[in-house]
Amino acid sequence: MNARVRPQAPDAAAAAGAHLLRPMQLADLDAVARIETAVYAFPWSRGNFADSLSAQYHAQVLTDAQGAVCGYFVAMPGVEEMHLLNIAVAPQAQGQGLSLLLLDTVTLLSQAGGALLLWLEVRPSNVHAVRIYERYGFYPITRRRDYYPAVDAQGRPCREDALVMSAQVGDLLQRRGLRAAPPA
Ligand SMILES: CC(C)(COP(=O)(O)OP(=O)(O)OC[C@H]1O[C@@H](n2cnc3c(N)ncnc32)[C@H](O)[C@@H]1OP(=O)(O)O)[C@@H](O)C(=O)NCCC(=O)NCCS
């Protein structure tokens, strides 16, 4: 479920530098949970990540030159499709193009698993993430009403819709100039 792939798109390769991707392990979950709580107002619990590992979802961490975890993704394979459940880059590592490295890896894993379609949900208020997905090649499909917990301007609990975005894996491979890595 967690085969290593080597993204080759020039912008992702440039951003990668000394960063490496490897399968997420239970031992990573403290570091992952620290990033998760730093970047999300409504973070996944450590248990959500542990369940994803138990379910053998695709889950990888991005490590920096010191080997510290600075990003990750979790994606759930389905029948001819892949659902990106979570993707994050640590605050101090953001803005370097590392999301492209993570997204390219998800795209290549989707191809390797025979997925034709890649999809995700995102908060419409997360304009930064929506823009990154649009630039990457995702397009909006629909909205899921009241999908996410949220707080209103007065700090009262409310709900926020999810924007569902999707892309054909073949389109992303072509758009990003990605090829499956040869066997090591
Ligand atoms: C959304 C998120 C994953 C993006 O990660 P990121 O690594 O900071 O994103 P990138 O660096 O790849 O792209 C950010 C910017 O850097 C730019 N960039 C791309 N390649 C670059 C490079 N090689 N060098 C410098 N900047 C680059 C991008 O153009 C982008 O510009 P923008 O700010 O105008 O959009 C990150 O902000 C995050 O973890 N957010 C919190 C969690 C979250 O919202 N996840 C998505 C939920 S659906």
Q: What is the pLDDT of residue 16?
A: 83
Report the pLDDT value the prediction gives residue 116, as an integer from 0 to 100. Answer: 98
- Contact, 26 vs 72, CB < 8 A? no
From the candidates 36, 57, 72, 133, give the one annotated as an active-site residue.
133
The CATH class that applies to domain 10-176 reads alpha beta
How far, in Å, from the CA of 28 to the mean position of ligand 1? 22
Residues in contact with ligand 1 by the CB-under-6-Å rule are: 11, 14-15, 39-40, 87-89, 94-100, 122, 126, 128-129, 131-132
State the chain's mean pLDDT as an integer: 94
pLDDT at residue 70 greater than cutoff 90:
yes
User: Which residue's alpha carbon is at the smallest distance from atom 43 of ligand 1?
Assistant: 88
Give mean pLDDT, residues 13-17: 81
pLDDT recorded at residue 9: 81
Q: Where do the structural domains in the chain lie, given as residue ranges?
A: 10-176
Q: How many Cβ atoms from other residues are within 10 Å of residue 112's Cβ? A: 14
Among 121, 136, 148, 160, the active-site one is 121
User: What is each CA distance from 44 to 32, 80, 171, in whole angstroms?
Assistant: 10, 26, 30
Whole-angstrom distance, CA of residue 31 vs CA of residue 131: 27
Task: Write the pLDDT tens digit of every residue in 26-54.
Answer: 999 999 999 999 999 999 999 999 999 99
pLDDT digits 0-9 by tens, 50-63: 999 999 999 999 99
Residue 25 has pLDDT above 60, yes or no: yes
| Cα angle 155-160-163, degrees, rounded to a multiple of 5 | 150
pLDDT, tens digit, 9 for 90 and up, residues 76-117: 999 999 999 999 999 999 999 999 999 999 999 999 999 999
pLDDT at 157: 95
Query: Which ligand 1 atom is the nearest neighbour of the CA of 120?
Result: 48
